[in-house]
Chains A and B, each alone.
Chain A
């Protein structure tokens, strides 16, 4: 009887953990940049390849296939957005918003609105190229190990 309890408990626990892990992976998937355009809408935009690869955009080893993938159009507060990604050798090389129309009459205003952007697509810089560094306020102690400290030390 005790064995029965132990085995059942182990099986139940494993099942529960697996279910939790599965739904957790789902949460991570919907958080990809492609669906981020949907402002939290859970309807999946883009192919699963887009979701999977986007989470590892830096390393870019998730999607093996090369080519261009187009996501489904999702309604966002900015209007309908459709995202196209180009994958090359397992790395996302380009992300384009195919359609960015606006349903309300604020289309002019959103021209400077913040939109999802891949890390690969932001203005890049190495710490050797910059003259100063901005970050969330660091304490005096944390400063010692910061990049800014390295810059300051180099310029003494």
Chain B
């Protein structure tokens, strides 16, 4: 396992006393799929927590590594790369591969093309759906191993189980990065703890989106990106992830489509930094 969190920026929180508001956690990280995945469990003391955490992290890492080996376009020997190069046809692809392809094309229909498993150059790219799928599979592995309270964060996409304070029903609180200032948080949303939302995914164009148009996914025309970042809270991580991606590509029309069609909360940051949010994010109305 590779530790990647040695260098925390100065001025960031350091170990702090466990309170109900600020529960003690233990976490492990590893690199996969070009990003960093971290798993956090409530800390019940090192002797009780560390072995569970190490085992759980290994299980999660196994899920991610296997999926990456199959779907990464950065690995020349992956099934995805061989398909992209024409060495392999979809007909001969493994059933797991075809299942993800079916998921992705299904989402393309549901999002009116704003989520698409194809890159602008036409290469089949399932990475938009694989990270979410991997998070979901890892969650299943954790549940199967009997871990009830956990928080999994893969490159900014979050799925939780249970509570940070075991047995209390307290939700996990997930922050959302401010795209205008990555060192601060824009908002937060409670996940898990018995509520109906356990997943939060954020998609963005970052600074570049301000000046660069992206192909409206699945559309022939080019459109200017309206949104710099979109966060979607949902019951499952694939829905959250796909809708966040689709909203960044599809703009306001897609936000309305998403909130009309799914049980989700959305917080979007427009190109000029202003916000568009569903009531769940409104502090005045409460979550």
CB–CB B276/A134 < 8 A: no
Asked if B96 is at the interface (CB within 8 A of a chain A CB), the reply is: no
Asked if A147 is at the interface (CB within 8 A of a chain B CB), the reply is: yes
CB–CB A135/B204 < 8 A: yes
In the bound complex, residues from chain A placing their C-beta under 8 Å from that of B34 are: 139-140
In the bound complex, residues from chain B placing their C-beta under 8 Å from that of A143 are: 4, 35-36, 155
In the bound complex, residues from chain A placing their C-beta under 8 Å from that of B144 are: none
A154 touching B186 in the complex, CB below 8 Å, given contacts A115-B276, A127-B175 = no
CB–CB A135/B176 < 8 A: yes
CB–CB B188/A36 < 8 A: no
Interface string of B270-287 (1 = CB under 8 A from A): 101011111111111001
Interface string of A118-156 (1 = CB under 8 A from B): 110111111111111111111110011111111111111
A131 touching B174 in the complex, CB below 8 Å, given contacts A122-B275, A140-B36, A155-B40 = yes
CB–CB B202/A31 < 8 A: no
Contact of B279 among A112, A126, A148, A149 (CB under 8 A): A112
Asked if B142 is at the interface (CB within 8 A of a chain A CB), the reply is: no
CB–CB A137/B155 < 8 A: yes
A31 touching B16 in the complex, CB below 8 Å, given contacts A125-B173, A126-B185, A149-B5 = no
In the bound complex, residues from chain B placing their C-beta under 8 Å from that of A126 are: 185
- A/B pair count, beta carbons within 8 Å: 227
A133 touching B27 in the complex, CB below 8 Å, given contacts A122-B283, A138-B35, A144-B4 = no
Interface string of A87-126 (1 = CB under 8 A from B): 0000000000000000000000101111111110111111
Asked if B29 is at the interface (CB within 8 A of a chain A CB), the reply is: yes
In the bound complex, residues from chain A placing their C-beta under 8 Å from that of B185 are: 125-127, 130, 133, 147
A148 touching B4 in the complex, CB below 8 Å, given contacts A114-B278, A131-B25, A135-B177 = no
In the bound complex, residues from chain A placing their C-beta under 8 Å from that of B12 are: 127, 147, 150-151, 153-154
Asked if A71 is at the interface (CB within 8 A of a chain B CB), the reply is: no
Stretch of B62-70, B105-113, B210-218, B254-262 that contacts chain A: B254-262
B17-60: which residues lie under 8 A (CB-CB) from chain A? 21-27, 29, 31, 34-36, 38, 40, 43
CB–CB B283/A137 < 8 A: no
Q: What is the distance, in angstroms, from B101's C-beta to the closest C-beta of chain A?
A: 21
Interface string of B107-141 (1 = CB under 8 A from A): 00000000000000000000000010000000000
Asked if A33 is at the interface (CB within 8 A of a chain B CB), the reply is: yes
A135 CA / B188 CA spacing, docked (Å): 11
Contact of B259 among A31, A112, A151 (CB under 8 A): A112
CB–CB A134/B157 < 8 A: yes
Asked if B89 is at the interface (CB within 8 A of a chain A CB), the reply is: no
A123 touching B287 in the complex, CB below 8 Å, given contacts A116-B276, A137-B156 = yes
CB–CB A124/B25 < 8 A: no
A155 touching B175 in the complex, CB below 8 Å, given contacts A36-B274, A147-B12 = no
Q: What is the distance, in angstroms, from B272's C-beta to the closest C-beta of chain A?
A: 5
In the bound complex, residues from chain A placing their C-beta under 8 Å from that of B200 are: 134
A33 touching B157 in the complex, CB below 8 Å, given contacts A123-B283, A129-B188, A130-B173 = no
Asked if B13 is at the interface (CB within 8 A of a chain A CB), the reply is: yes
Asked if B8 is at the interface (CB within 8 A of a chain A CB), the reply is: yes
A29 CA / B275 CA spacing, docked (Å): 16
Asked if B80 is at the interface (CB within 8 A of a chain A CB), the reply is: no
In the bound complex, residues from chain A placing their C-beta under 8 Å from that of B155 are: 137-138, 143
Q: What is the distance, in angstroms, from A98's C-beta to the closest C-beta of chain B?
A: 14
Looking across the interface, which residue of chain B has its beta carbon closest to that of A118?
B275
Interface string of B222-243 (1 = CB under 8 A from A): 0000000101000000000000
Looking across the interface, which residue of chain A has its beta carbon closest to that of B183?
A147
Q: What is the distance, in angstroms, from A118's C-beta to the closest C-beta of chain B?
A: 7
A133 touching B176 in the complex, CB below 8 Å, given contacts A126-B185, A151-B27 = yes
In the bound complex, residues from chain A placing their C-beta under 8 Å from that of B22 are: 128-129
Q: What is the distance, in angstroms, from A94's C-beta to the closest C-beta of chain B?
A: 9
